[in-house]
Structure 1
Amino acid sequence: MTATPPDTDALLSVRGLGISLHGLPVVRRLSFDVRAREVLAVVGESGAGKSLTARALLGTAPRGARVTGSVRLRRAPGSYDELVGAPAPVLAALRGRRTALVPQDALSALSPVHPVGDQLAAAVRSVARVSRTEARARAVAALDRVGIADAARKARAYPHEYSGGMRQRAVIAMATINEPDLLIADEPTTALDPDLQEQVLRVLGEQREAVGAALVLVTHDLEAVRHHADRMLVMYAGRQAEQGPARRVLTRPAAPYTAGLLASLPPVETGGHGGRRRLPTIPGAPPAFDRLPPGCAFAPRCPLADERCRREEPGPRAIGDGHEVSCHRWEDVPHPATELFLERSV
């Protein structure tokens, strides 16, 4: 069975995305769609290829990378711009105007030698012919919209004078100030405490709604996915393990890898002996990209793996309701699927 065909209503359509670094394949045959105003969460362990995929979507893959396949951004109904292979000036013109990044490290994303407001105003003037006064007013308004108090004064401050949470709000303001069609947020809450994480995700969601953008949220935080995503894509070793509506994947995962990730989540409410139970874990570690096993890359860690899994790489198959899985044994995954890994908790 083949994967779901391209979504004709997609704002972003990715087909057969491949990324090699210095000749070594890292991301392989990745396909997904994102509709306007939709939130797609891309999840998986560190090293799964999530951030590299995000950079390829923006046309900012690192030096030495070769990107193949198709990444198409809708310009108008029935009309798309192909980003893979597009000239650098074309890609640069899209960034900030139609696509924008909310980076992992806000401090390094902001210039330390210019006031924050000046940086936002420069972002405005890079895409619109407006006066410095108008650009400055838009910068202050953008800071105010993301909840930075006394925005006119804070616009004159430098990044080091902002707290971590304020810096992250500032980069959200910068990403959304020109009302792009597509936002890419790459681990936007890294190094923030849980309360600040939720605040930043809420602000990001509010600004996404305000400008009508789609959002690709790269994260390892499944709780963030539960509360903020419409759809999710689970990656393992540079390949798709599973994708589909977030609620369906989180409650009825079809890939053993997804089940393992969910099993490792602390229960929302614990009491009695349940609060002291050791959480299940997935045994082993993800393989290095230059030492991928034959067949399914997850087979060495999977409790359901058989000889076919170790010999034949599974391709994505549609299993209903926009849900896809890359697994030979998906029909044998129990429900609740986390039972696959529960015996490892004792």
Structure 2
Amino acid sequence: MEAEPLKHRPPEAQPPEPWPLEPWPLQAQPPEHRPLEARPPEPWSPKSRLPDADPSVSLPLLSVRDLRIAFDGVEAVRGVSFDVHAREVFALVGESGAGKSLTARALLGMLPKEATVTGTVHPDLSGARGSRIALVPQDALAALSPVHPVGDQLAAAVRSVRRVGRREARALAVAALERVGIADAARRARAHPHEYSGGMRQRAVVAMATVNEPDVLVADEPTTALDDDHRELVLQLLADQRESRGTALVLVTHDMDAVRRHAHRVLVMYAGRAVETGPAQEVLAHPWAPYTKGLLASLPHPDDKPRRRLPTLPGSPPTLGALPPGCPFTSRCPLATDLCRHEEPEPRWADERSVACHHGELPDHHPPGHHAPSHHPPGHHSPAPPAPHHPSPRHPLENP
């Protein structure tokens, strides 16, 4: 007689955790922002520490003033200003459609021909793309030619800038692949992109961007399609380039943890404008703008209860072609007043930070001699940012 098979009993249904917060628009204040919590360092902590910017550099490598990018009369980037210094990681963050990638590509001169650009980028490095400024793209598979070996593509990048022979260019290409951790680089250089894994392809485009040792690297969402291990590897490769060559890195990302680990300064964008900027550790630990607070409050945390619903920003960003009068964040902000609905806020500065919000937290004083970058006269150069301090890293959803 056959034994009766065991009956499968599904687990008892657990009631969902109660919604921890009232819907954000109904609150008098945005969701509580919990500063980043101190955590023990990972095993590779010596390389994970935030490196210092170079305090001896007094002039920025790039100065952007009142950058505006329009398509058919509709402004997609509206008056963005910032400086990028040598050995600095400058992060551009915000929701999709905020204008981050357009801003970054304006530095490279890689905007579509139908774009109308005003403002200044000094110096203009678009004519030195590949030698003084280079791009690490988001989609490595699309960036690499499918019909040529990876090593040949790197060698072509070398010969486009340097007057070297084919053999020397190939040797430099193999050395670049070795620097980014690709094993057996001489053999791998003969392989085509489809023979590489996703992480190897991303390392290959980092090698291509850095093979000519540029002054500025623009990384446009370089870790979006990678797992955690490869993400940290690519970010560390970019950090190593910054440390060894003094390269400045403009990092376009949605990854706030990458900003916390690697960025010196951060610029938060919304609807084509900068809503908050300042030292990355200070902005993440104590944001001033309600939009920044909402972004950080919506991040998940490993200690959250199962099925806990995260606070969310209600609605979606406005259409750039039909921006409402006043502040474009008004319909999503719990602090909005009639002033917000009728008047778009201008940036206000204190110390090294700025906020474009009528209700953003801001000290009531300006230090002597302080000047906001967006109001610098022509020819003015900002001082180099101070070397960032190293506060204990905290997670944005932890209680202080």
For residues 237-278 of structure 1, the C-alpha deviation after alignment (integer angstroms, 9 at most, x for no partner) is: 0000100000000001011000000001112x406xx45421
- Superposed, 1:156-305 pairs within 5 Å as 156-267=190-301, 269-270=302-303, 274-305=305-336
Are residue 36 (structure 1) and residue 86 (structure 2) matched?
Answer: yes
Name the structure 1 match of 2:357. 327
CA offsets, 1:28-65, max 9 Å, x none? 01001111010011000000011111111111111210
Find 2:338's aligned residue among 303, 307, 311: 307
Letter in 1 for 2:112: P
TM alignment of 1:93-132, pairs within 5 A: 94-132=128-166
What per-residue deviation string (whole Å, max 9, x for no partner) do you get for residues 126-163 of structure 1?
11111111111110000000000000000010111000
Contact 1:176 1:208 in 2 (8 A): no
In structure 2, the partner of 1:86 is none
Q: Which amino acid aligns with 1:18?
A: R
Counting only pairs closer than 5 Å after superposition, residues 13-162 of structure 1 correspond to structure 2 as 13-73=63-123, 82=124, 91-92=126-127, 94-162=128-196
CA distance in 2, matches of 1:275, 1:249: 29
User: Partner of 1:196: helix, strand, or coil?
Assistant: helix
Distance change in 2, residues 1:39/1:242 (3 Å): same
Question: 1:209 Cα shift?
Answer: 2.3
CA distance in 1, matches of 2:116, 2:93: 23
Once residues 331 and 228 of structure 1 are traced to their aligned partners in structure 2, the CA distance between those partners, rounded to angstroms, is: 25
CA distance in 1, matches of 2:186, 2:336: 59
- State the Cα deviation string for residues 71-99 of structure 1 (Å, max 9, x = none): 013xxxxxxxx46xxxxxxx34x100100
Tell me how far 1:331 sits from its aligned partner.
2.6
1:332, distance to aligned residue in structure 2 (A)? 8.3
CA distance in 2, matches of 1:197, 1:318: 34
SS of the residue aligned with 2:157?
Answer: helix
Moved over 6 A (4+): none
* Larger strand proportion of the pair: 1
- 1:202-257 CA-to-partner distances (Å, cap 9, x unmatched) read 12211232222100000011111011111100000000010000000000101100
The superposition leaves residues 95-130 of structure 1 with CA deviations (integer Å, 9 ceiling, x where unpaired) of 001000000110111111111111111111111111
Q: Note the C-alpha offset of 1:305.
A: 1.0
Q: Decide whether the 8 Å contact of 2:289 with 2:361 is kept in 1.
A: no
CA displacement 1:6-44 (0-9 Å, x = unmatched): x96211100000000122111101001111010011000
Task: Give the Cα separation in 2 of the matches to 1:152 and 1:208.
Answer: 25
> Equivalents in 2 of 1:29, 1:147: separation in Å?
40
In the alignment of these two chains, the number of paired residues is 311
CA distance in 2 between counterparts of 1:51 and 1:62 reads 12
Looking at structure 1, the residues matched to 118 and 86 of structure 2 have their Cα atoms a distance apart, in angstroms, of 24
Aligned twin of 2:13: none
| C-alpha distance 126-144 of structure 1, shift in aligned 2 (>3 A) | same
Q: Which amino acid aligns with 2:88?
A: E
SS of residue in 1 equivalent to 2:300? coil
1:37, 1:215 within 8 Å by CA — same for their partners in 2? yes
Change (3 A) 1:286 1:159: same
Shift of 1:198: 1.6
**1:102–1:183 Cα contact (<8 Å) kept:** yes
The one-letter code matched in structure 2 to 1:15 is: R
C-alpha distance in 2, partners of 1:258/1:63? 33
Whole-Å separation in 2 of the counterparts to 1:212 and 1:175: 15
Asked if structure 1 preserves the Cα contact closer than 8 Å seen for 2:66 and 2:79, the reply is: yes
Distance in 2 (CA, whole Å) between partners of 1:22 and 1:112 is: 34
Report the Cα offset of residue 197 of structure 1. 1.4
Q: Helix, strand or coil for the counterpart of 1:185?
A: strand
Q: Which structure shows the higher helix fraction?
A: 1
Q: Is the 8 A contact 2:88 2:242 kept in 1?
A: no
Percent same amino acid among aligned pairs? 67
Contact 1:146 1:207 in 2 (8 A): no
Query: Offset of 1:188 from its aligned partner?
Result: 0.5
Q: Is the 8 A contact 1:294 1:310 kept in 2?
A: yes
C-alpha distance in 2 between matches for 1:238 and 1:46: 11
Would the aligned equivalents of 2:350 and 2:362 in 1 still touch at CA under 8 Å?
Answer: no
**Cα offset, 1:310, TM superposition:** 0.9
